[in-house]
Amino acid sequence: MKSLNDLNVKIYADGADLKEMLEIYKNDYVKGFTTNPSLMKQGGVTDYKEFAKKVLAEITDCSVSFEVFADDFETMEKERIMDCIECGSCQFTCPANRPLLDYCRLGKGKVGAMIRARQAKK
Q: How confident is the model at residue 69 (pLDDT cuts 50, 70, 90)?
A: low
The structure's pTM equals 0.63
Q: How confident is the model at residue 119 (pLDDT cuts 50, 70, 90)?
A: very high
Q: Report the distance separating Cα 122 and Cα 115, nearest Å.
A: 11
What is the structure's pLDDT at 92? 64
Residue range 92-121: average pLDDT?
83
What is the structure's pLDDT at 76? 83
Q: Report the distance separating Cα 42 and Cα 44, nearest Å.
A: 5
Residue range 35-55: average pLDDT?
86
pLDDT in tens, 50-68: 898 899 899 988 888 887 7
